[in-house]
Structure 1
Amino acid sequence: MKGLVVIDYTNDFVASDGALTTGQPGQAIAPALLATTQDFISAGDFVVMAVDGHDPTDQYHPENKLFPPHNVIGTPGRALYGQLAVLYREQRDKIYWLDKRHYSAFCGTDLDLRLRERRITELHLVGVCTDICVLHTAVDAYNLGYQIVVHQQAVASFDPVGHDWALRHFQKTLGAKIV
């Protein structure tokens, strides 16, 4: 069984005026990310929207010291970007929304439990940022024994060097399949 995790494809990470935007690279993956998500929904596979949610007043969260406020709970910046937002509204009953507060979609969430109860062993990853949240999710997936598939045309970062490094790392270090 396989599942898809769509990571942080929100206004703050993708829109031109997003608080921590990938900009053009993030916007360019929209067609591939949307098509992949639609394919998984149509096939009846488990689809997860793993979305960062932050409180800028949380003095204990390390990201508040590393990055400007982003994906703040209750703001438009945290909303899904573009046509993915439309797809989510139309297919909400077929998509599992996962709030996360760390880079990895596994850290402090019930993702592993949700995947295991569905007997999912192959995890497909799309979204942003390739070298941050996608990477940390992939590392945790690897450590938990999942087979990893990264959709190269559906991941992006604001750091092209980090993006390329992460793609190599997925394949060479985590044994991920890059499609």
Structure 2
Amino acid sequence: MKALVVIDFTNDFVDGKLPVGQPAIDIQERVAELTQTFIDHGDWVVMAVDMHEEGDIYHPETALFPPHNIRDTVGRELYGELKQVYQNNEEMIYWMNKTRYSAFCGTDLDIRLRERGIKEVHLIGVCTDICILHTAIEAYNKGYHITIHEDAVASFNPEGHLWALQHFRTSLGANIIKR
């Protein structure tokens, strides 16, 4: 069994307060399609969604980025077609709040993957060179096989995006696929 981890594909990260913009908009259909395909095949699907508190001056990202993905805001809702896929399959998707770049940091993701005997994680979403990267590094360090769907990841930093794809391949031994 494998797992699909959909990272931070929210309104704020696509076209909101910290937008990837057109590169994220361009992958929205593929993100939704892959999510539905994994559900249809009976694989485990995780929505790993960044969550911040309004006015949190102690969070390390406060000095780096404008406020984004604030709890209980429209900005934190899933973007576009993915929102509909989630609403149609909510009982089959694990929603996981995360407060750091990596979906493993401070969450129960590793425990839940191991409970299910999952050794292979597929990563999609945004940002390729931030949250996808940090999740992939931690997955590698925990011994998971990693697959990155190149046509379902995006970043607001084109150079960072390309660097991260190369890093996944050469330093983490990740399988990079594009349909």
Sort the TM-score into its range (normalised by shorter chain): over 0.9
Contact 1:56–1:64 under 8 Å retained in 2: no
Amino acid at match of 1:14: V
Gaps of 5+ in 2: none
Matches of 2:97 and 2:120, distance apart in 1: 21
Amino acid at match of 2:137: V
Matches of 2:42 and 2:102, distance apart in 1: 24
Q: Is 1:12 the equivalent of 2:12?
A: yes
1:34 is matched with which residue: 32, 35, 45?
32
Question: How many angstroms does 1:34 deviate by?
Answer: 1.1
Matches of 1:128 and 1:139, distance apart in 2: 15
Contact 2:13–2:126 under 8 Å retained in 1: yes
Q: Is 1:105 the equivalent of 2:103?
A: yes
TM-align CA RMSD: 0.6
Matches of 1:112 and 1:137, distance apart in 2: 11
Gaps of 5+ in 1: none
Q: Is 1:121 the equivalent of 2:115?
A: no
Matches of 1:36 and 1:72, distance apart in 2: 26
Q: Which runs of 4+ in 1 moved over 4 A?
A: none
Aligned partner of residue 71 in structure 2, secondary structure: coil
Matches of 1:104 and 1:154, distance apart in 2: 18
Identity of aligned residues (%): 61
2:86 is matched with which residue: 85, 88, 110?
88
Matches of 2:139 and 2:12, distance apart in 1: 25
Match of 2:131 in 1: 133
What does 1:30-179 align with in structure 2 at a 5 Å threshold?
30-179=28-177
Question: How many angstroms does 1:57 deviate by?
Answer: 1.9
